Structures are given as C-alpha cells and as structure tokens.
Structure 1
Amino acid sequence: RGSDEFEDVKDTRTNIILGFSSTAWGVVWGLLASVIYLFAYDLAPYKFPADAWWTWVILFFVDDLAYYIFHRVSHETRLFWNFHVVHHSSRQYNLSVAVRQSWFSGILHWMFYAPVMLLGFAPWMFLLVHGFNLIYQFWIHTKLIQSLGPLEWVLNTPSHHRVHHGVNNPYLDKNYAGVLIIWDRMFGSFVKETEEPRYGIIKQIESYNPFWINTHGWVEMRDVIREQPTLWRKLRCVFGSPNMEFDETTRKTIPAN
C-alpha cells in the first residue's frame, strides 16, 4: 500500500491545485457570463418577484434541471466532454475530487444557464441558488456514506454519484443529477449502485500535471480529427458522442466516462 498511498497523495495534491486554479479562472469566465446573464434578463418578458417564496422554489427546480441538461451534454458531446474530463480523470473518489475542475469549462457554461434569466429570474438570484447546488455536490464525493435510506429516491447521494464516477459498464454515463436524482429517474439515466465502482476514465491519463490534465482531451480530439477523411466525420468528432467509433480504417474517438 505504500506506493498506492503515495500516488493518492499526489492525486489529492493535484486536485487541490486544480481547485484553486480553476476557481481563479472561474472568476474570469463568471464575469463574462454575468454580462450575458444581465442581457438575457433584460430580454425577459416577465420578472419573477424576489420577495415571493414560490419564486425561489421554482428557481431551485429550474436551476437543477438546467444543471442536469448541462451535465448530460458534457458527457454525451465530445466538445463539452473535453472540459468535463478533467473532473473525471482522477482514480480516487473523495472530497478533493469535487474541486478537480477544468480551467476553461466556464467559457461555455452560460449557454445552459442564460435561458434561466430569459425566463425572468434575476442573475443574482440564479447565482445564489446555483451556488447552493454546487456546494451540495461537494459532500457527495465520498465513499464513507453508503446509503441515506428513503432520501435515495429523491436526492443525489454519495451512492448515486459514485455510480456517476464509475467506468464499470453498468455505470458509464449515468446519474447526472445535481441535487435531485428525479431527473435521472424521469429521463432514463438512473442506475443504482450494485457493485463497487472503478473510478477514472476509460483511457486513463498517467499524469499529475495540471496543464496536461486540462488539455489532453483537446490534443486527442485534434489527432482524431486529422485522421478523418471527410468534413462530416471531422464535425462528428467535435459534436458527436465521445463514445463514437469509426470504421476499422480510422481511429476511434476517445471514449467518455
């Protein structure tokens, strides 16, 4: 276990470095997104009252659904997976993995959340609710809690999220929930934890370098695109599924977790 523990320490250290650095980049992308959110809110034909309790209830559900859509697209479209793969590339599953995030994912986040402002929710209200959503997801990155009983039917729990991080075949690309697991149950992406997950990504990277962890997906996609004979195939490498395979004369796209 000595070498394993040493590797775990290095991985945890990398996670923390990525956490601080992605937060710094997130401030930059967040400021740019705020401009878009303010513009979208100005276009909203109706403005939800901030002093009504039911506004916050509706916003909670709208934001959580928007996160589900964002998260699912991040797994099912190669362009977005190249950002999200950073989070999944750790072979560990602990609280430090929660902060292992991409430097650049904030560039496109606004595409999924600007519609929330178009519905009439003020940007500051969205940021509060969305912040709660993200904070909630921190604690579920743990192997210490096995089950929360009846809450497993409604909430995203450590058990459900362990499934999400697993590369075992029953678990691959499942349980995209933020706070509520109901979206996965409704849209057919739910799987219950029945066996111990194997964590990481299918094509595991052997590096603790934060720069390579953030860029390896883009380098691999570039190489795959270069080998495709037609523009259509090149576009499919970018906008198609990360699990997509081509014929035997061409190279496979990099599988997603």
Structure 2
Amino acid sequence: MESLQAAIEFVGGPGTLWVLAGVYFGSVILERLWAIRGNPEYDNADALCSIGLNLISSVLNLVIAILVPLALYVLVFDNLRLVGDLSLWLAIPLAFIIHELAYYWDHRLGHRVGLLWAFHAIHHSSNEFNHSTAARGFFLDGQLKGLFALPAAFIGVDPVVFIAVSVLTNSYGIWNHASYVPRLGWVDRTLMTPKMHKVHHANQPQYIDRNYSQVTLIFDRLFGSIAHIEEEPDPGLVKRVYDNNPFTAQFAGLKQLKDRMDTAGDWRDKLAYLWRPPEWSHDGICRSDCAKYGNVSPA
C-alpha cells in the first residue's frame, strides 16, 4: 500500500510531465526505429509537424489547460467534497471512471460542435496514424475535460490521485496511436486498442464520429457510438490537409470553419456554423464530413 501511495504521489506530482514526455517521445523514437524495416513509407515531415504542433500547444496550454483546471479542482476538493478521507483503493477506480467519462464527452462535443471541431480537427489533420500524431493538437482543444472532471473533486478524489490516473490514461492514449499493433481479436471489443482508435481517425462514412473513448469501449457502447473494423481505416480529414508547417497547420480547422461561414450571407447563418455540427450548412450543401452522408463536396 505504501509503495502504491508513493507511486501515485510521484506520478501525480513531480513526475507528471516527465512521465508523459518520456512516454510520448520514447514511443515516437522507438516507432521510428521500427519503421526503418517495418514501415519504410513512414512520413518524416508529417511526424515532425505533429511534434511541432504538440510543443506549441503544450506551451500555450500551461495556464489554460493545466493551472486553471487544477486550481478549480483543488477549490472544489478543499471546500465542497463529500468524503473527507477517501480510500486509495476506491479513489483510483472512481478517478478512472470519471476521467474516462469526462474524456468521452469532451471528445464527442469536439466532433459535434462547429467551433470545437475547428479546434479538434487538428488532431485528425494528419494523413498518417502513428505515435507522433497522438499529441498533435490545438491549444484550445479539450478544454471542457477540466469541468467534466469536477465530480471527482466533489466526491473527494484527491487531486494528486486524479492527476496520476490522468497521466496513466493519457500514456495509454499515446500507445493506442501505434502503427505497428495488429488487430487483437477479443481485446478490440473491450479496449480502445490502436486498431479501434484508428477507426476513430478514419474518414470512411461508417467510421466518422465513432470510438470517442480513451481506454475502454464502455461509454461508446453505452452511448451508441461504437464502430468495429470492417475495411482498413484510412486516417485523415474528409477535406485533407497537406500542410507540414506546424505554425500554419494548427489553423487548418479554423480555416475550414471560416470557409464554411463565408458561404453564408446572413449573420445568423454565419454564427450558426459555430455551434452546429460540422456537416451542417445553411443552404443544405454539405461542406464537411460529407462522406458520412454519401454526399459529394461542392467544387
């Protein structure tokens, strides 16, 4: 018990960034070495762009996605928690379940709300699927997770425990972008394995807006968003992005949103693009995710 407590305190404390950085960059390097023989078509430019996007968003996220949510979590935990001294053996599974649920709904809203999709689309903008894409993102993406995690603080899950669980699940989230892991049979029907997550990154109609969870498939099954592998998933946006400059590629989602908004003349229609799902349009012409509905984008 003492060793578990010490591990939790390290991972949820001084080791947080070291663990995540070590898992991410270690995975990217090992996968690149494997690719020398196992995947000679590995796209170096795309991988470097993903790493650049990760570094940019990580720096900008320091306050928005780390310090502010943590301060809010601690505020609720210190002043409103229901249980004063929650057992570690109960706190860990509660933290996992709440984190998984928070991740699911933040992720699902990121696909179904126009402005949030403009932020999240960067994660899907790579036409490759490997460890480098795992942390490819825009700094405003995923900001609702902090709010959705507050029930854990309200119940009484210590901030250090919740952070430690988050670090471990996020580390798993890096692994499930592996390009070298094959189908895993029954495991693919239980966990968000790399092949199951590749489904989420695919642009085929049957795969769009599916498999939102990070570690398990529980909430995808519960909320009807699961998709199993049929044809091999083809990663990338429906409207593909071929920009490997991280300083410009990070705005690809916002640019596509602006392009859709510019088609509307009425300001109310323009604003509707911010909260309507990305396939919506004011005139019935699909301009995003059209493959999901069997439509063809206008030239």
Q: Displacement, 1:213?
A: 1.9
Q: Structure 1 length as normaliser, TM-score?
A: 0.87
Q: Which moved more, 1:230-239 or 1:184-193?
A: 230-239
Instruction: Map 1:132-143 to 2 at 5 A.
Output: 132-143=168-179
Correspondence for 1:17 among 52, 65, 68: 52
Does the Cα contact within 8 Å between 1:224 and 1:237 map onto a contact in 2?
yes
Worse-superposed segment, 195-204 or 146-155 = 146-155
User: 1: CA distance between counterparts of 2:113 and 2:142?
Assistant: 16
- The answer to whether residue 200 in structure 2 is matched with residue 164 in structure 1 is yes
RMSD across aligned C-alpha pairs, in angstroms?
2.5
Provide structure 2 residue ranges, at least 5 long, that are not aligned to the other structure. 1-39, 293-299
CA contact (8 A) 2:191 2:216 kept: yes
Give, in angstroms, the shift of residue 126 of structure 1: 1.6
Counterparts of 1:37 and 1:125 in 2: how far apart (Å)? Answer: 12
Which residue identity does 1:65 align to in structure 2? L
Q: For structure 1, which segment, 154-163 or 29-38, has the greater mean C-alpha deviation from structure 2 after superposition? A: 29-38
Shift of 1:172: 0.8
State the alpha-carbon separation in 2 of the partners of residues 246 and 48 from structure 1: 52
Q: TM-score, normalised to structure 2's length?
A: 0.76
> How many residues matched?
252
Letter in 2 for 1:247: D
- Give the alignment partner of residue 112 of structure 1, picking from 125, 148, 164: 148
1:49 aligned residue: 85
**Residues of 2 paired with 1:124 and 1:28: CA distance?**
18
> 1:23-34 maps to which residues of 2 (within 5 A)?
23-29=58-64, 30-34=66-70
Q: Distance in 1 between matches of 2:42 and 2:185?
A: 34
> Relative to 1, partners in 2 of residues 1:102 and 1:59: Cα closer, same or farther, differing over 3 Å?
same
CA distance in 1, matches of 2:259, 2:123: 22
The residue aligned with 1:146 is: 182
1:75 aligns with one of 89, 95, 111: 111
Report the equivalent of 1:200: 236
AA paired with 1:26? N
Q: 1:73 Cα deviation (Å)?
A: 0.9
Contact 2:176–2:197 (CA under 8 A) maintained in structure 1: yes
Which position in structure 1 is the counterpart of 2:32?
none
4+ aligned runs moved over 6 Å, structure 1: none
Q: 2: CA distance between counterparts of 1:221 and 1:234?
A: 10
Answer whether contact 1:153 1:181 (CA < 8 A) is retained: yes
Deviations 1:159-204 (A, max 9, x none): 1101001001111111011111121112111111111111110111
TM superposition shift of 1:219: 3.2
> Corresponding residue for 1:217?
253
Q: Give the % identical residues.
A: 30
In the other structure, the counterpart of 2:214 is 178
Q: CA–CA distance in 2 between the matches of 1:55 and 1:6?
A: 44
2:276 corresponds to 1:240: yes
Structure 2 partner of 1:62: 98
Native 8 Å contact 1:48 1:121 kept in 2: no
User: Structure 1 stretch 168-177 or stretch 238-247: which is displaced more?
Assistant: 238-247
- Indicate yes or no: 2:71 matched with 1:35: yes
Structure 1: 5+ residue stretches without partners: none
